[in-house]
Structure 1
Amino acid sequence: MPRKQTHFIQALARGLSILQAFSSDRPSLTLSQIADLTGMNRTAVQRFTDTLVELGFLVRNRHKEFFLGPQVLSLGYAYLGSSQLRRLAGTYINQAAERLGCTMNLAILDDLEVIFVHRHEVRRYLKFDLQPGSKLPAQLTASGKVLLAALDDGDLRQRLERMDLHAVTAKTIVDREALWRDLMRCRESGLGICDRELSLDLYSLGVPLLNAVPQVVAAVNLFMPAGDAGGPLWVERRAALLALGRELSGLFGYQGRYPLMPTGLSQGGLL
């Protein structure tokens, strides 16, 4: 027996069609693109998108582009995985790396390690090769420190207890309480610093990427020679990295003060 349609709500269906217009190939859409994809006029799309933004199902950046919002997670959508994050951020990272003359990485946290989901190598600082998909102990990277500092205190303590804190260089932090204090400084400043802890020739800075919740969802870091730390190039690169982190966070829907380090790292999705 055919299902009766007497209780079908056309307005709800139209609102859901807007959410369904987004995909891995279309992570961001303008108002006009949504209208074209859904067949609705711009006035109707404007009303629906305003409502969906207010409810958290969409986020809108300063360029008036829309992205699926954090409330979509509550319905079980995996709405921007690591590959989408990499594609969205990769172009910006590549341009910044070339402009600054620094190798840069986009990283996410995987338990006690960071995974580099995007990497633009301008100069090699390490003896071993790193590629997208490579992992390093989180506490030995500036991006890893950012991601660890974004965990809530209980989760962070538990992970610190499981870490193998052995000396890679004479500068490696091997004491858990000293590492805790270092991560608290990172949390307070919003800036991760790895000073010759992985290699005596290497200094690294890391900043968080935030979504609209806000949650830290990833981190960007840059490598520079240890001898540049504290000098004019360090000042320039630090400012540029903070500007990049702010811009990428804006693309992902974050519009507040930057850098910010809210605790409770995003576990259900990258954005």
Structure 2
Amino acid sequence: MSGTNGSKANGSRPMVVVEGLSKTFQLGDQWVRALDAVSVRVPAGQFLAIMGPSGSGKSTLLYLLGGLDRPSEGQVSVAGRRLDSMSSDDLAQFRRETVGFIFQAFHLIPTMTALQNVALPGVFAGLPRDQREQRATWLLGLMGLRQRMHHKPSQLSGGQQQRVAIARALFNNPPVIMADEPTGALDSKTGQAVMHVLRRMCSTLGKTVIVVTHDPAIARYADRMLLLKDGRVIEDRAPSQEEKRDVA
């Protein structure tokens, strides 16, 4: 199933193109089909929520889209690049340049300040210290955390840590932001604040945002919902007006 439902990005060039994507795992003496012939296109600048119950294949799909895993069958292209035929080195470069990842567990380095955590991608990119700290400072300001940039993760709330993680994901200015259960470790109010930030990344900065979630409340921030069950797309639509209420 494919589509470009419910987005102001309709008519844009596709940022993500997936054709017949399948992923099979071996568990003991059994083979499990985590994804089964998924096909979908995501226009540039769209906010897509990938939803479904535990075990539906949604995180597997995200990892394939982000070049963190390889498909068993099918093709996946992101930003015009075929991931399924890339070497490991090319995939690593793709992940650095094209995708910013955000995870439920934040994955911040506890001994580093917020500024140092956000600037870390600049170290791997070989940027001079003043340049990477200048960009990290700007990104933390964008997240409303300029006054917290010298604090370590243990000195920040869960929501502040997730915003630091979002700032870090934006450091290399990737066209795509991918988030796996980004509000899973947060209370509902803090989770809403984080989702507003991601919504702004799409609406204001033009990022393509792909969020995996099991929480139906997250769908209201999206332009489009992709519902998976048993590794297959069973629904592909825009959120209803009822689902989108109260989103600024």
Shorter-chain TM-score above 0.5: no
Greater percentage in helix: 1
Q: Which has the higher contact order (CA 8 A, sep 6+)?
A: 2
Greater percentage in strand: 2
Q: Which structure would you say has the larger Rg?
A: 1
- What's the TM-score, normalizing by structure 1? 0.29
- What's the TM-score, normalizing by structure 2? 0.31
